[in-house]
């Protein structure tokens, strides 16, 4: 009898294991989106924010042609404040890309010939080296094409990944790519594209004029502006998004960063559904959702009453003092059973950028004695600094990039004037120069380096690749800095 019970138990266990294995195989087969058949070719519709392309619906997987142009262009950050944005498709954030799982995307990235810098693109939806960055590095006046299969449904960030990566992102080089599941997302009445970014300028918040990027503030994560869709007020006034009472609204919300996490909230609404971090998991009845830098979320809700609903980063000083504020204007009949308060018409004004500070105590000047390193130590430390800050543009052997960045190896421009070269590292350089008989017209950004690091890296450069072997001291750097 015990023997029969044991046999029965083994049979049941075997059947359960076989069933589980069968189910697992079935799940793996369904999840293997690399094998989805691609039928036909179509050109992708690309849209500037806050618009999104048409839903994919029930279309089959296709070869999807994406053509995107990089443009460096001056634009308005806020009234009286201009900024040179680096953009994908001419907008910040860049063009919205809409695909479905299983598509074979053929991506062509073109760098406009009037641009000053090389760029590339890292799409978080890509399974491959650098998210495409390694295949898409492109100099001004050139284009690159690469392809990838969309394997995972979700909402993903893309951004430039050319060094210095943070600077390219901080200047507006980010956007969203949506990979819809087979059959598409559930239908809604209105869809919009919103992306938060933090910006760092030499001038204080609101200081007038053309403001350059400030690397020191960016490293310290001290943002002057935190905005939706590239500028203060992009989603207010005539730029506000709209809906009618009773409609369902879907927001594709991204966070380009480069530094700050977004606490996204719509004042007076509750999110019915939130695709957490743009993935499969859905949270319901959410007040505020956290979106990390380089992340995204899809939020759905129904608008039941009319009025102006304010979109904010609920790290609230960013909204009312730095610009992270937008509007959803809803029109239609009031429903007193849902909301019986007084409706007030008018302009919604941010509180302004006035900052109050406490008085500081007088600080005593600290005198630091400079101790010069040996040449060998400078070479070692300078090589490390070079690899972190100079390598991407000037390359491993100082050969530079033709038509984009001048060579440092055997450079007549460097060797003829050491003080000038130190000054360029300290202050940056814009405009045309001639190096070894070739003309270059690009931007050398001001480097966020200490005086000692400048001395180290310049000593390394001058003692490498056939240059004049100058040993640059910290005192030389200080003298140039104080001129």
Cα(229)–Cα(72) distance, rounded to whole angstroms?
16
Is 394 annotated among the ligand-binding residues? no
pLDDT of residue 84: 97
Is 168 annotated among the ligand-binding residues? yes
Is 77 annotated among the ligand-binding residues? no
Is 68 annotated among the ligand-binding residues? no
Task: At 218, give phi and psi (nearest 5°).
Answer: -65, -45
Q: Are 264 and 299 in contact (CB under 8 A)?
A: yes
The percent helix, strand, coil of the chain (3-state, each to 5) is 25, 35, 45
Same fold, 42-331 and 375-481: no
Diameter over CA atoms, the chain: 100
Cα(147)–Cα(135) distance, rounded to whole angstroms?
9
- Can you list the pairs that 385-390 forms with residues at least 24 positions away whose Cβ atoms lie under 8 Å? 385/449, 385/453, 385/456, 385/457, 385/460, 386/457, 386/460, 386/461, 389/163, 389/164, 389/447, 389/449, 389/457, 390/457, 390/461
Is 173 annotated among the ligand-binding residues? yes
The model carries a pTM of 0.75
Other C-beta atoms closer than 10 Å to the C-beta of 370 total 11
pLDDT of residue 371: 77
pLDDT of residue 427: 86
Residue carrying structure tokens 């799409």: 123
pLDDT of residue 360: 59
- Each residue's pLDDT expressed in tens, for the chain with a length of 483 residues: 444 444 344 444 444 444 444 444 444 444 588 888 999 999 999 999 999 999 999 999 999 999 999 999 999 999 899 999 999 999 999 999 999 999 999 999 999 999 999 999 999 999 999 999 999 999 999 999 999 999 999 999 999 999 999 999 999 999 999 999 999 999 999 999 999 999 999 999 999 999 999 999 999 999 999 999 999 999 998 999 999 999 999 999 999 999 999 999 999 999 999 999 999 999 999 999 999 999 999 999 999 999 999 999 999 999 999 999 999 999 999 988 898 865 455 555 555 544 555 565 555 555 556 678 899 999 999 998 887 778 767 877 898 877 678 999 999 999 999 999 999 998 888 778 999 999 887 777 777 789 999 999 999 999 999 999 999 999 999 999 998
Is the domain defined by 42-331 classed in CATH 2.60.40.420? yes
List, in sequence order, the alpha helices (H) in 99-192.
133-136, 165-170
Q: Which CATH number fits domain 375-481: 1.10.760.10, 1.10.10.10, 1.20.1600.10, 1.10.600.10?
A: 1.10.760.10
Domain ranges of the chain: 42-331, 375-481
């Amino acid at each position: 009898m015990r023997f029969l019970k044991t046999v029965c138990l083994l049979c049941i266990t075997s059947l359960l294991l076989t069933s589980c294995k069968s189910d697992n195989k079935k799940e793996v087969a369904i999840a293997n989106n690399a094998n989805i058949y691609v039928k036909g070719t179509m050109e992708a519709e690309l849209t500037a924010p806050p618009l999104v392309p048409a839903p994919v619906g029930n279309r089959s997987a296709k070869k999807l042609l994406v053509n995107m142009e990089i443009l460096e262009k001056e634009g308005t950050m806020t009234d009286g404040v201009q900024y040179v944005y680096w953009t994908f498709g001419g907008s910040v954030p860049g063009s919205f890309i809409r695909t479905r799982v299983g598509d074979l995307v053929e991506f062509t990235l073109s760098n406009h010939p009037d641009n000053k810098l090389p760029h590339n693109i890292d799409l978080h939806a890509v399974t491959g080296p650098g998210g495409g960055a390694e295949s898409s590095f492109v100099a001004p006046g050139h284009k690159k094409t690469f392809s990838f299969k969309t394997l995972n449904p979700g909402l993903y960030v893309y951004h430039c990944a050319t060094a210095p990566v943070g600077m390219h992102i901080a200047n507006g080089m980010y956007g969203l790519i949506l990979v819809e599941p087979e059959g598409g997302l559930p239908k809604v009445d209105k869809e919009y594209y919103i992306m938060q970014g933090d910006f760092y300028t030499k001038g204080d918040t609101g200081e007038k004029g053309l403001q350059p990027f400030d690397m020191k503030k960016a490293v310290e994560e001290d943002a002057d502006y935190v905005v939706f869709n590239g500028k203060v007020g992009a989603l207010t006034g005539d730029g506000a998004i709209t809906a009618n009472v009773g409609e369902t609204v879907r927001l594709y919300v991204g966070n380009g960063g480069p530094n700050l996490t977004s606490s996204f909230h719509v004042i007076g609404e509750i999110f019915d559904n939130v695709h957490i971090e743009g993935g499969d998991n859905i949270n319901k009845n959410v007040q505020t959702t956290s979106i990390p830098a380089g992340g995204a979320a899809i939020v759905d809700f129904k608008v039941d009453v009319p009025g102006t609903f304010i979109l904010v980063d609920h790290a609230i000083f960013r909204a009312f003092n730095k610009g992270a504020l937008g509007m959803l204007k809803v029109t239609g009949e009031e429903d007193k059973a849902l909301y019986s308060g007084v409706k007030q018409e008018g302009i919604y004004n941010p509180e302004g950028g006035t900052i109050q500070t406490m008085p500081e105590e007088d600080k005593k000047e600290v005198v630091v004695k400079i101790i010069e390193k040996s040449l060998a130590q400078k070479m070692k430390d300078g090589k490390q600094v070079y690899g972190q800050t100079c390598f991407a543009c000037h390359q491993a052997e100082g050969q530079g990039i033709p038509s984009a960045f001048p060579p440092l190896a055997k450079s007549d421009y460097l060797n003829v004037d050491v003080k000038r070269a130190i000054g360029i590292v300290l202050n940056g350089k814009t405009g045309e120069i001639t190096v070894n008989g070739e003309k270059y017209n690009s931007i050398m950004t001001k480097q966020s380096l200490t005086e000692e690091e400048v001395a180290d890296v310049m000593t390394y450069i001058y003692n490498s690749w056939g240059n004049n072997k100058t040993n640059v001291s910290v005192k030389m750097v200080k003298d140039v800095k104080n001129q």
